[in-house]
Structure 1
């Protein structure tokens, strides 16, 4: 199974640290892993052990969007040109689809291999929001490359995509929050820590998004009780202070097998929850949500900007699935 997993939370909650630990855990299990840094503050590369120069040299997806669009468009007759492709453009007959493994021009241009203790992963990054972007671009123009990528990504057995999302509830500005089989919301045991949870819970309610809370920086039973009272059964697991993480943040991580036992168990719990969620995936609904947000974006701004009726990009007989085939969408 290919599982798409998002880590979200407020700034400073530790979501990048936890997503990097989960990526290391998956890689150590031998699974193929694609890691994506979609945060406005690009820190995932460093959390995976890259030095400052290596992290800065990572190729930005946002800067390669025209190439990504050209490749994904393929021979889809419903997409006249890359200029009419937007972040929500869904695939259809003739589109090129991607898998986690294998090679293609998008991976060749936008991914870099990262060697980890016990395994290796591919890493993609949106690219930082720089001073030159101010006044001429919004960050969603960069994360749009990730959304388009996820819309064209199909399943391969035993593969994982882990996305470190931008802080807060910014992902609800598009349909990207519906692209994941599991969303882990990292929350500290404070009122501010659970505020983003409430936003996510409200937004996600109508879209079948599976949301679980990972309590972080938990120091005792009182913290656990607080989180349980605030988020109820959505609290999946908690993580506490870690000498291993502190050493990693200094650039001197010990072997991953030396991560504290309670934190290893927490990662195993996340892994188990992710794998259980796959069985509930509804491919027709997954594709229909993609179409829903595309039509919403088309009507609200993109038709006017492109001078094209982008509803025509929707292939009504196409459902994205492990073996893509043309089957009617419901309704």
Structure 2
């Protein structure tokens, strides 16, 4: 199952995504996590030191490797340079399983606390003024387009803040999108914007409250987001420690907050992916990008008879 965490900047989505990842890993479940937030704090939230996080290999720096590997011998893609972030898989493409061994995972991912973790990478000085952050997140999008995960496997992405995911088709790559919402007007505004953009694409959008301190906060969230609210995390010493970058054992989280994480897992486990729609949406956004800026000739990369599915990796 593919899971995204989104929300207003400062809402605590990295904290909540790290708690959820740690919760899954503590249960012995296979978890692949990707930090696609421009601030790149997930590794530290999961227990890495600042020095370790800075030395982490990045997907953005390995885009050429990712393209070359995923291209395989797809006859519709003459070379890796012609691939863009939305290029969908077709016959001959290399498909990846989230916990297999391959050159991409060897170069870009490391183990941390029972989690396979990859990061998109931060802006560096050469990027300023000439690139947008989507040039780095695009490596993750391309990887997700070619990834076949099945029930019992969890792929979790900490996304960029706000509605930046809508700059491409990345927002359609997930079975469940958790929107982390503070009990504030601004945070609710981001939820409404996200819900409005996602409405026509079958996105399973679920709200999890954060930084809740009292019954008035709960009442506010219930009034503003209604049935979309799954649960909330109350303010706590454990959560504050996580926000400071100190990873405590997940079992020490307060029972009420552990209950919310359990509800989140149950929500994810109840979803069933429509692989045909998943492929169709990848193609749709690739064609949009081809027509808008990448060049209409890239429409030829689409294999109309191909549908991504687990059977292809057996």
- CA-CA distance at 1:129 after TM superposition: 1.5
- Number of residue pairs aligned between Structure 1 and Structure 2: 313
Per the TM alignment, residue 74 of structure 1 is displaced from its structure 2 partner at its CA by 0.2
Given that 1:201 and 1:211 are in contact with CA atoms closer than 8 Å, whether structure 2 keeps it comes out as: yes
Q: Does residue 128 of the first structure (1) align with residue 122 of the second (2)?
A: yes
Aligned-partner Cα distance in 2 for 1:111–1:201? 32
- Once the two structures are superposed, the pairs formed by residues 213-232 of structure 1 within 5 Å of their partners are 213-232=207-226
User: Greater CA deviation, 77-86 or 239-248?
Assistant: 239-248
Within the candidate set 253, 257, 275, 2:251 is matched to: 257
Task: Give the conservation status (yes or no) of the 8 Å contact 1:111–1:123.
Answer: yes
1:6 to 1, 4, 7: 4
| CA displacement, residues 44-84 of structure 1 (integer Å, 9 cap, x when unaligned) | 00100100100000101101100100000000000011111
Q: Tell me, what secondary structure is at the counterpart of 2:218?
A: helix
Q: Residue 236 and residue 289 in structure 1: after superposition, are their counterparts in 2 closer, same or farther (change >3 A)?
A: same
TM superposition shift of 1:40: 0.6
Structure 1 alignment gaps of length 5 or more: 326-331
> What's the CA shift for 1:8?
0.2
| Aligned-residue offset at 1:321 | 1.2
RMSD: 1.2
Task: Provide the secondary structure at the position in 1 that maps to 2:212.
Answer: coil
Q: Following the alignment from structure 2 to structure 1, what is the Cα–Cα distance between the partners of residues 125 and 236?
A: 35
Structure 1 position 165 matched with structure 2 position 159: yes
Tell me the distance in 1 between the aligned counterparts of 2:246 and 2:163: 33
Deviation of 1:21 (Å): 0.3
Task: Give TM-score, length-normalised by structure 2.
Answer: 0.97
Q: Which residue of 2 aligns with 1:298?
A: 290
Q: Is the 8 A contact 1:127 1:142 kept in 2?
A: yes
Aligned residue in 2 for 1:60: 58
Q: TM-score, normalised by structure 1?
A: 0.92
| 1:114–1:121 contact (8 Å) kept in structure 2 | yes
1:144 is the counterpart of 2:132 = no
- Taking the aligned partners of 2:247 and 2:277, their CA distance within structure 1 comes to 42
**2:277 alignment counterpart:** 285
Residue in 2 that maps onto 1:193: 187
| Match in the other structure for 1:31 | 29
Q: In the alignment, is the contact (CA less than 8 A) between 2:45 and 2:246 conserved in 1? A: no
Distance (whole Å) between structure 2 residues aligned to residue 249 and residue 217 of structure 1: 11
Tell me, yes or no, if structure 1 residue 321 matches structure 2 residue 313.
no
In the alignment, which residue of structure 2 is the partner of 1:100? 98
SS in 2 for 1:137: coil
